[in-house]
Chains A and B, each alone.
Chain A
Amino acid sequence: MADYQLIIVGGGPTGLTAGLYAARARLKTVLLEKGVPGGQVMNTDWIDNYPGFPEGISGFDLAEKMAAQAARFDLETRSGVEVVSMDLTGAEKKIVMADGTSLTSQAVIVATGARPNKLNVPGEVELAGKGVSYCATCDGPFYRDQEIAVVGGGNTAIQEAVYLTRFASKVTVIHRRDELRATKIVQEQAFANDKIEFAWNSQVSSIEGSQGVESVRLLHKDGEESTLPVHGVFILIGTIPNNEMLPNGQFEMADGFIKTDLEMRTSLPGVMAAGDIINKNVRQVVNGAGEGAVAAMSAEHYLAGQS
């Protein structure tokens, strides 16, 4: 017999919501989280677009409340458990962890999410934590009255650039195009802020500094190069899927993301996927949570059909 009816891999908002629904459905469930529950939302200073919090809520508080809500219904959660491989083809699914042990279940929800993309330029790895950052809310206060750069033009980049002006004396947004992708209200806030400047049509070619970041080297669209002196550079250029532990060729993928139907079912029976790991356009906390609920209900239907 399998160890569990359902294993949820990943403890961000999607996995926690799936866990909430599974626990309330009284499925014998375990949620495996490689770090601590919360996911990427913990890196967000303030969430203004998750309904039910009219004043907004900090990313950390939202994650903590989601974890507490699942715990209230006795969801079993294991933190610090990294899943390294999976075999999902049979009726009994096998999940292998970094310590070499494994767990089995009848159904699996893959909610492994995504992580910040890297620029992959010289200096980025060497100066990580020493001026190179992927989390404005974690590291912003280290740059009081200093000049910094934000790389990116999407919602996260622009929202965090505005946040960083609370500390920094100047924030230069480096963007490869001549217009932003961020939502209009976020753009308006950035354009209205005197501390924010824009380096349009520009890419970072390297990050320079010995003990810490001292400058970034920019390559402009017209072929010109320049140096921007900054103490910190926040790289907020989208995400890449956490797919390294997924089994090769067992279900349909697209560009590294898992393909699902509207019920969050993958091409494999008993395997659901939800949140930032699936192939979709909108990557918000609210739809990640919604997909988690749908995935749990699909798991429940699948399990009912098995017994």
Chain B
Amino acid sequence: MPPKCLTFVLNDPPYESARSTTALRLLDAAIRRGYDVNVFAYEGAVGLACASQMQHANPIHGRDAASEDHPNPKDWIAALQVLARQCSVRLDWLNCGQCSDERGVAEAIPGVRRGSPADLWAFVRASVNTLVIPTS
């Protein structure tokens, strides 16, 4: 019997809101529970998986980039991809293509695809439930 599938719609850009962290916690929990997971990223959320995110130093506190070890969400998403493979479930992450173009963040990490509202509709139809996490 194939696993149940849940779809999550994200809207918040990285670093701006606790919603991004909560969303990643939900995805992690759903994957560990054995559910297939679809993610459709709209608006600023297309930046979560941007491949060109970089760490930086913190000269105010005298830390170089390595010791500052600033988190980049793309690495957390990559970790979720690994987790999904380990749990033998599917994590399918789509970025809204137009939202990506508008924001110049078309280059996403491997495994994150470009999509459209038609893909979101396909996600919803294939899922037992869909949760939209709106911006404020």
Same complex for A and B? Answer no
